[in-house]
């Protein structure tokens, strides 16, 4: 079971391929705040709702100084289909090895329909301009989560 991040922790560095196979790194966002959200799988109902919510609120978040990166264990090809099918504007990166998911505490045991399983824990980590964790939300709901983040961040 991976450790959950706490405010003040240094956000683990990462470089992962996006939907086009280009490398996206947390370091390239230094000087801006970044909302890194972790979701189980592209092209599933809950993850689609969450990605569409982030896309719909991207301008509001960007205006407040936040970039958004969605991380899942999907390969770039599936992320590209997801982006095209849903007209997503948010940056999606794949972590098939689940190393970044684990480093952020977003992979491990969770309850699913009353059973304990190992998988992606729907989570969101807000990273400040200096690469420190500002906030960390775990076991979040796909629906309504973006509105809650906007409210919690005072945007």
- Rounded Cα–Cα distance for residues 130 and 46 (Å): 31
- Rounded Cα–Cα distance for residues 11 and 22 (Å): 21
Q: Count CA atoms within 13 Å of residue 27 on its CB side.
A: 5
Q: Of 135, 103, 146, give the one whose Cα is nearest residue 121.
A: 103
Structure token digits, residue 121? 């824990």
Catalytic entry in 16, 47, 140, 149: 47
Q: Respond yes or no: is residue 47 known to be catalytic.
A: yes
Asked whether the beta carbons of 135 and 126 are under 8 A apart, the reply is yes
Which helix (H) or strand (E) segment is 81 a member of?
Answer: helix 76-86
Structure token digits, residue 133? 């964790």
Catalytic sites, residue numbers: 47
């Amino acid at each position: 079971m991976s450790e959950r991040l706490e405010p003040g922790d240094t956000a683990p560095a990462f470089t992962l391929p996006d939907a086009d196979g280009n490398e996206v790194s947390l370091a390239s966002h230094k000087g801006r705040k970044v909302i890194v959200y972790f979701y189980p799988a592209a092209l599933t109902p809950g993850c689609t709702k969450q990605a569409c919510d982030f896309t719909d609120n991207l301008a509001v978040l960007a205006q407040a100084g936040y970039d958004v990166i969605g991380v899942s264990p999907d390969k770039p090809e599936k992320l590209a289909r997801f982006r095209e099918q849903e007209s997503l504007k948010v940056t999606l990166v794949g972590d098939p090895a689940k190393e970044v998911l684990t480093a952020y505490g977003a992979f491990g045991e969770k309850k699913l329909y009353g059973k304990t399983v190992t998988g992606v824990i729907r989570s969101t980590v807000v990273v400040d301009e200096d690469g420190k964790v500002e906030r960390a939300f775990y076991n979040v709901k796909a629906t309504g989560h973006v509105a809650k983040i906007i409210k919690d961040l005072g945007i």
